[in-house]
Structure formats: structure tokens, C-alpha cells
Chain A
Amino acid sequence: MDCREFHKTHSAFIDDTLSGIELVGVQRHIAECEECAKHDAIVRRSLLLFRNLPRIEPSPDFSERLNIRIRELKNAEVPPVFHHSRVFAATIAVSSALMLGYIGSSLREVDSSRDIVFPPVVASIPEQELVPITTPAPALVASVPAGLPIWTAALYAELAPIHFASADRQLTQSGR
């Protein structure tokens, strides 16, 4: 094994994933090459330093803050009932759209000969308006059931008090 090969396989050597033959080859090379042996030592020591860095811990209120956020998340979630009603509304909307589409397409397909035919409009003389009936005098109305001509009935009605008064005076004069 030469130095180039060593550098190519060095990572696998550190991870201990080399096959038996490769492993022996690298170990032999390190024993012979001072430069590669030094490189191997530096890499291993530097990795050891990194792996030994102190681990940081979450702050004491980490879990509490997380729980608050999860509670907020739960409250903000859409309730299942609402979720179902949204599905239902979407289904209604889609079926309505389909129905409207079907109606529209069937209207277009209707033959023009099947249209409703109305009778022709005939012009006619407009009807005359009725003249309202004016209310007649009470005497006139009363005379009609009696069967008398209108003018005599009216005359009798007007002269009646005079006849009564002249008959009374004649009776008085004859008595003296």
C-alpha cells in the first residue's frame, strides 16, 4: 500500500470498517511510513477532542415551553366534526355543479321544433270603461217599487203638506 491508497482508505480505517486484507495493508503502511502514521495520530486525537466536547443540556423550562406550544397546537386544530362538515359541503358543491352542468348541456341539446308555439296575437277594440252610477235622490228611489211614474211621485211628495194645511183651514171656516 502506498500513501495515496492509505489516504483513500483512512476514514474506513478509523471507522474500523476495512476488510481483513485491507486492514493488514494499512497497519503495515503505518508501521513503515512516518508521515502517514503522524497523520493518523493527528486525526484520531482531533476526533477525540471533538467527541469529548461537553454536551449541553436543554434549559429547565424546555419541556414546559414545548407543552404550551403543543396545547396551543391542539386548540388550533380543526375539530373532526367541522372537518366532516367541510367534506359534506364540498360534496354538495361538486354535485350541484355537476347537476347545473347537466341541465345546461341538456338545454342546448333541445330541438328548436320542440319549442312551445303561442297563438298569434289578434288586435281588438278595447273595452269601454264603465261609468260609475251616481246616487239618486231618496224620493226617486222610494218611488220605484211603487210602480208610479217618476214625475207624479215627485209631485205628490212635494205638495202633500200643502193639501193637509188647506183641508184644516176649510174645516175651521165651516165650523164658524
Chain B
Amino acid sequence: MDDSAVVTAFLGGEERAFSELVERYQTRLLNFIYRTIGDREKAEDLVQEVFIRVYRHLHRFDRSKKFSTWAYTIASNLAKNELRNRSRNPLVLMQAVQKNWQDDDRPLQFEDTTSRPDDMYRKRHLREIVEESVAKLPEHHRHVFVLRELEGKSYEEIAEITDCNLGTVKSRLNRARNSFAEIVAPYME
């Protein structure tokens, strides 16, 4: 059963169809938002908000388009708003970072070579480096980068989700890939 059929079933009054949509998209949307904003707890709140909006406005959804694109557009807008709010209030960002660190997720100091006794530890460290490198990308580039590399969206879908033209998407993706590679490269050698 494809998304379109599930949406039709829900609009026909079948409440269970909505649970099916949640089941299909909760993890994907959570990872997309998490990689975009970098705060797990907030990402989960935003995914909840995405589904609330889907529930409320599904009757207005243009069914000639893909449901996944629509859902990602809502998620993308919420993530953008969250980042905008943070940039206006740096205290919120600081609190989010501190909260993550308190959860035993404190980033390791890369310079401290003695703190890498085994492969597992190194892998964890590399993972953190990669996550930090994504966070360092400019917001617009990161958005396109995550949609393409993590979610596997096509250029056309990304253009629709981010409300940009195709040329802008290609250009941003190319820059994001090069910047990301430049940041990560020293740690890969």
C-alpha cells in the first residue's frame, strides 16, 4: 500500500491509516530534523509537531503530489524556524548543547591521543567529528546536504521542499559536499 492509498484511507475516515503514516515517517523525519538542528529532544518535539500539522491539514494536501515531499516540507520549515529562533537567542543554543553533554555525550577532545584505547572508542570519536562537521555547514547547505545524503531525496524533491530552484539546489549541494569533505579530511588520514 503506497502513501497515496494510506492518505486516501485516512481521509475516508480510517483513523488507523494515520498511525500507519506515523509508523512510516517518524524515524526518517526524526533523523532529518536531528541532523539539521543537532538537538535530539527538540527534534522529537518537532516531529510530533509535524504529525499534528499533517493530521490537521491533510484534507488540504494536494494529492497529485507526493506525501513524503509534503511531510518533509513541514519538517524543513519547522527546523528552519528552530534554527532562526536559536540564532536570535544564543542562550537556548548553549542550553541545548550543555544538555546533550550532560547525557554522557560530551564530545571527546581530538587532540588527546591517549584517550583512544580501542577501535570502538575511535569510531565514536570519528562519529562525533562527522556530526560536528555537519553542524559547521551553513544552514542552507546543511539542509540540502542532509536531504540528499541522509534521506536520498532527488534534486527536484529537494527544490520543492526547500522552495528553491534546481540550479540553487545543485550549487548548494556541491558546495556543501566540498566543505564537508574539507572539514572531515584531516581526521580521516
Question: Known contacts being A42-B188, A47-B177, is A54 close to B48, with CB within 8 Å?
Answer: no
1/0 per residue B49-88: CB within 8 Å of A?
A: 0011001100000000000000000000000000000000
Determine whether the beta carbon of B22 is less than 8 Å from that of A63.
Answer: yes
Chain A interface residues (CB < 8 Å from chain B): 10-12, 14, 39, 42-43, 45-47, 49-51, 53-59, 62-63, 65-66, 69-70, 73
Given contacts A42-B185, A43-B178, A46-B185, 19 further A-B contacts (CB under 8 A): A14-B177, A42-B188, A46-B133, A49-B126, A49-B130, A49-B188, A50-B149, A51-B149, A51-B150, A53-B35, A56-B27, A56-B31, A56-B40, A58-B27, A58-B30, A63-B22, A65-B48, A70-B52, A73-B56
Bound Cα distance A69, B18 (Å): 14
A54: chain B residues at CB < 8 Å are 127
* Docked complex Cα distance between A10 and B181 (Å): 13
Give the distance in Å from the alpha carbon of A42 to the alpha carbon of B181 in the complex. 6
The answer to whether A46 touches B180, judged by C-beta atoms less than 8 angstroms apart, is: yes
Number of A-B contacts (CB under 8 A): 80
Q: In the docked arrangement, what's the CA distance between A58 and B41, Å?
A: 10
Task: Tell me whether B44 and A46 are in contact (CB under 8 A).
Answer: no
Contact B131 A53 (CB under 8 A): yes
Give the residues in chain B near A43, CB-CB below 8 Å: 177-178, 181
* Chain A CB within 8 A of B98 CB: no
Majority secondary structure, B binding face: helix
Chain B residues in the interface with A (C-beta under 8 A): 18-19, 22, 26-27, 30-31, 34-35, 40, 44, 47-48, 51-52, 55-56, 126-127, 130-131, 133-134, 149-150, 170, 173-174, 177-178, 180-181, 184-185, 188
- A11-B170 contact, Cβ under 8 Å, with A50-B134, A50-B150: yes
B52 touches A73 (CB 8 A): yes
Residues of A with C-beta under 8 A to B22: 63, 66
